[in-house]
Amino acid sequence: MASAMAPRNAPLWRPSTRLRLPHPGVIGWYCRLPALLVALLWLCVLPMPATAQDHVTDTPPLLDRLTPAVMAGVFAEATRIELLDDGGPAAVAAFTDDELIGYVFSTLDVLRAPGYSSTPFDVVAGVTLGGRITGAAMLFHHEPYLINDDRRTGQMIQFLDNLAGMEARIGASGGLAPNFVAGATISARAMRNAVLEGASIVLRYRTGATVVTEPTVDMLGFRPMTVEELITEGALVQVVVTNADLAAAQQAAGIDGLPLEVPPRGDANAVYLDFRAGYAMPPRIGRNSAGQGGYDRVFEAFPEGSEALIFGSNGTYDFRGSRHNNLSHGFRLERLEVVQGDRSFRFLKSDIVYVNLDLGRVANILMLPPGSGFDPLQPWRADVYAHVRQPDGVLSPFLLARAEYTLPESYILLPEPEPMPAWMEPWVEGKTQIVTLGAALGVLTLILGFQGQLSRSRRLHRVVRNGFLLFTLVWLGWIASAQLSIVHVINYLQAPFLGLGLSFYLVEPLIVILSVYTAVALLLLGRGVFCGWLCPFGALQELLANVARYFRLPQWNPSEPLQRRLWMGKYISLVVVVGLAFWAPAAGAIAAEIEPFKTAITAIFVRGWPYVVYAVLLLLIGLFTERAFCRFLCPLGGALAVLDRLHLLNLLKRRPECGNPCTLCERACPVRAIEKSGKIKMAECFQCLDCQVEYHDDRRCPPLARARKLRERMAGGAPAKRPARPAAQPGRTPAAASVPAGVTP
């Protein structure tokens, strides 16, 4: 990349016996950095002025927030609402005329749950008495990736609209995935979970619903249903035996003769037995099939812990028989047996609760005593037997009908499934992205680890460099929206003061992985690993700069003294942005817009025109001065540059000749991060490896060129004709910089 010649660097700080504090002509820029950091800390401990938190405190009452437009979105069926003052979670009752149909609540009032920012949002939602969300509307938020972003805000509104119909519990299925709001998935997930959990809290308090800890029969739910409807949903099972079936059953049992209830003559398809069976304890089954009187007798006449099964029949055959009325027979119902697993249950006349409903011509509830071992949640079957009287008077039984029964799931209350921790959900959903990022970071680690071998080939270096930058921009930035930002740094700094636990740091998998990798790389190698390879906006600037040089646009770099002062811009922006984030969060959110990342990367330029104009202007400047924003204005770059002083390793190689007399690498550096002494200023270095390409080029680096010529002479033959100088990328390494004046190759 081309870079204009600049004056040699001046010392950063000259010792002086007379030190006038705080005159800037005496104290170097490095010495002022601690003062800037002290100013930052001072801002952080100042009393905060009015903030978004004050908006939360001063929120109007719920009834005032529920305007007709809001109600139309969250509970369109409600014709009137009434504030509840029962000491429970804040909510209003929704009515259709005089019929209560559900409740409307605010996540701010019920949960006060924060999203990605530390400020709780306000989402109003409705829930029916049956536990279904009717709608949700976002009234207030302070989410950094939604503010001033109409596109993403529209996606959030659509995301909340699609909560309608979901169960009122965390972990319920349905709706859109949080990543529908690309770039603000944490905010979307937080708002969704707040709506579902808030609805569950409000509904449970008002309905008195029992919290179950294990599968339990639903003894509360009821709605009128016909026998046919119960059969259709499996609450009752039906078995029909025709005359033909009767004959087949006798043949299978090997018993001849007529059963005690003789079938009607003639039609083989005539119904001999129409048998119905079911579990009678749930009111939806027992009350609808046995009537209110019969169902009440179950609980009035039998001890607690008893179980009730209901049976009915039509046709010629009576499943009870007549001998259960005989003392000599022990009052047993010999025709019916219930089997569950290895247990069998038979009934006496005293177990019968007589009912008179359309369950059949004959209908009875049969009771099992407490401790019988019957488990209503497990499958069971009812076997109906018929008998043929033999010539000697002995009754020979055979199986006439078998009804297999399992209580439908809708009649079983299940404990709410333990919801997946909020931080774990994105890790599970984003497995593919996590693997992709892990592979990319592995490749980058190899690039940095084998940078010496890579730098020996100018062409390979450019292919690898530009290819990785293209991946960083397109996949990491535009597709995965994983642009590390000063906003993340601020949130990480604020979390301990706001009482946010470890889970807060884990809710963005890609950002977490990038942050950890950047922190390790910063400690080992310095700022340049992230800024030079993993920043999507930085990649966009450099790729556009490559295009600019291809079309030979003029390149400008500031003079050494001016550049030194411009470098301070990123530290000043860091102090301002972080200080305002603590001191005045609302202003801090505006100040954070100094980063064009949200506009150019996560929103892909779909924002208000002022933001787009600002981002495009920065990119246009970068066409003429490489990475101007990164070098002179980026607050995140400033934070990394401050911490760069801690790095332990320096893999960028230098020679004694570097800087004096050779200035090849200094002139080749596209961001002017090499001092006149030849030392690389790591806090300003982007690890692009351009200087290493020059370092290993034995036809451009003077010490290597001399050594190569010496080897050729010592080989005994005339030096081969010097091949044409390898063409540098237009403007990347100016030809004039190949051999410094006064140095003989």
178 and 315 co-located in one domain: no
Q: Give CA separation, 188 vs 159, 440, 488, 492, in Å.
A: 8, 27, 17, 19
Give DSSP secondary structure letters for 414-438: -PPP-PPPTTHHHHHHTHHHHHHHH
Residue 8: the pLDDT is 32
Q: Is residue 574 part of a domain?
A: no
Rg of the chain over Cα atoms, rounded to whole angstroms, equals 40
pLDDT tens for each residue of 360-402: 778 899 999 999 999 999 999 999 999 888 877 788 899 999 9
Q: Is residue 173 part of a domain?
A: yes
List CB contacts of 90: < 8 A, sequence separation 6 or more: 62, 84, 105, 106, 109, 110
239 and 388 co-located in one domain: yes
231 and 251 co-located in one domain: yes
Higher per-residue confidence, 324 vs 135: 135
- Are 676 and 715 contacting, i.e. CB atoms less than 8 angstroms apart? no
353 and 401 co-located in one domain: yes
pLDDT tens for each residue of 481-537: 999 999 999 988 888 887 777 777 888 899 999 999 999 999 999 999 999 999 999
Q: Is residue 200 part of a domain?
A: yes
pLDDT tens for each residue of 30-87: 444 444 444 444 444 444 444 445 445 568 889 999 999 999 999 999 999 999 988 8
Residue 584: the pLDDT is 85
What is d(CA 241, CA 266) in angstroms, rounded to the nearest whole number? Answer: 15
Alpha-helix runs per DSSP H in 551-595: 560-583, 585-591
147 and 285 co-located in one domain: no
Q: Where a domain ends, among 180, 207, 234?
A: 207
Q: Is residue 94 part of a domain?
A: yes
Q: Where a domain ends, among 150, 185, 207?
A: 207
113 and 161 co-located in one domain: yes
Q: Is residue 444 part of a domain?
A: no
Q: Is residue 524 part of a domain?
A: no
pLDDT band at 611, cuts 50/70/90? very high
Look up tokens 């169960």; give the residue: 167
pLDDT band at 343, cuts 50/70/90? very high
pLDDT tens for each residue of 139-194: 998 888 888 788 889 999 999 999 999 998 887 888 998 888 887 888 898 899 99
138 and 190 co-located in one domain: yes
Mean pLDDT of the chain: 84
pLDDT band at 716, cuts 50/70/90? low
End-to-end CA distance of the chain: 23
Q: Is residue 377 part of a domain?
A: yes
110 and 252 co-located in one domain: no
85 and 142 co-located in one domain: yes
- Say whether 690 sits in a helix, a strand or coil: helix
pLDDT band at 718, cuts 50/70/90? low
Domain count, the chain: 2
Whether 321 shows a pLDDT value over 90: the answer reads no
Residue 356: the pLDDT is 66
Supply the range of the domain harboring residue 62: 53-207
Q: Is residue 354 part of a domain?
A: yes
